[in-house]
Amino acid sequence: MDDNAVHLADQALPFWVEVTEDGDDDSMGILGGGNPELRMVPLGPLRKNLAATVDALQQVFADVAARGGTLPLAEAQLSFQVTASGGVQLIGTGQVQGTRGLTLTFKRS
């Protein structure tokens, strides 16, 4: 592990997360079913989980782009939320209306 990765493993960022009545603070961000609390999310797991998610999505997008056709994929936007332990969970906007989350935009240059 390089020095930068070791340094990131010790750092954290503040995120609002949803804490349910049973004390579970690792559910999806603020969806309205629990109590929002500001928690320090460790950067090491967040970095690892976000990188794995982006890697998987890039493969999916490459497969879709390879299909070609008259309507090629030129841009994709995805929303995600971060859990208190640094997990990354994608949000299906068709299933969850009005959620708050971070958006990743992948655009072909």
Question: 107 vs 56, which has greater pLDDT?
Answer: 56
Amino acid letter, residue 39 = R
pTM: 0.67
Which pLDDT tens digit goes with each residue over 51-106?
999 999 989 888 888 887 777 777 777 888 888 888 988 876 554 445 556 666 76
CB-facing half-sphere around the CA of 7: CA atoms within 13 A: 3
What is the C-alpha to C-alpha distance for residues 32 and 27, in angstroms, rounded to an integer? 11
The pLDDT tens digits for 5-52 are 555 556 999 988 877 666 555 655 444 556 788 889 899 999 999 999
The Cα 15–Cα 102 span in angstroms is: 11
